[in-house]
C-alpha cells in the first residue's frame, strides 16, 4: 500500500477541520471541526502502522486511545456548550467573548462599589457613628443608646 493516499486524505481532513475551527463561530461546529482534525490524526496513525508493518500494532493502539480521549473531549465539550447556551442564550463564540468582556467590566464596577461601601462603613465606625452609618435619622426614631437605657 502506498502511504501517499492516506497521507493526502489525512492532510485534507486536517485542513478542513482547521478551517472549521478558524472560520466557524458556532461552538458546536468548532467542536465538530476539532473532532475532524483528531480523525485525520487517527488515519495517519493507522496508515503509518500498516506501512511500517509494525508487529506490536502500536499505531492502532494509539488510535484506540485517541478515540477514547476524543469521546471524553466531545462529551465534556458538549456539556460545557449546553451549559453556556442555557446561561447566555447563545453558542456564538463572538457573542460569548463580548459578554465575557462586559461581565469583567461589571465585576470591576461591583468590586469598586463594594470597596467604596466598606470605606464609608469604616469611616463611620471611626467617627463613632457605626449604628447610623448609611441610615437617615428622623426625630421620632430611637438610637441604640436610647433603646438600651
- Res 115: pLDDT: 75
Is residue 57 within 8 A of residue 49, CB to CB? The reply is: yes
d(CA 147, CA 149): 6
Residue 60 has which C-alpha cell? 492502532
Q: What is the pTM of this model?
A: 0.65
Band of residue 98 on the pLDDT scale cut at 50, 70, 90: confident
Cα→Cα distances 37→25, 76, 87, 88, 145, Å: 17, 17, 29, 28, 73
Residue 94 has pLDDT above 80, yes or no: yes
Amino acid at each position: 500500500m502506498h502511504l501517499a493516499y492516506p497521507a493526502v486524505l489525512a492532510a485534507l481532513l486536517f485542513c478542513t477541520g482547521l478551517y472549521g475551527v478558524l472560520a466557524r463561530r458556532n461552538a458546536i461546529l468548532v467542536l465538530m471541526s476539532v473532532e475532524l482534525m483528531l480523525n485525520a490524526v487517527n488515519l495517519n496513525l493507522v496508515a503509518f502502522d500498516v506501512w511500517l508493518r509494525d508487529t506490536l500494532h502500536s499505531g492502532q493502539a494509539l488510535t484506540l486511545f485517541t478515540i477514547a480521549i476524543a469521546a471524553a473531549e466531545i462529551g465534556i465539550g458538549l456539556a460545557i456548550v449546553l451549559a453556556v447556551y442555557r446561561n447566555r442564550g447563545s453558542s456564538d463564540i463572538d457573542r460569548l467573548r463580548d459578554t465575557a468582556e462586559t461581565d469583567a467590566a461589571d465585576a470591576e464596577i461591583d468590586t469598586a462599589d463594594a470597596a467604596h461601601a466598606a470605606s464609608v462603613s469604616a469611616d463611620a465606625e471611626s467617627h463613632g457613628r457605626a449604628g447610623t452609618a448609611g441610615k437617615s435619622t428622623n426625630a421620632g426614631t430611637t438610637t441604640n443608646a436610647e433603646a438600651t437605657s
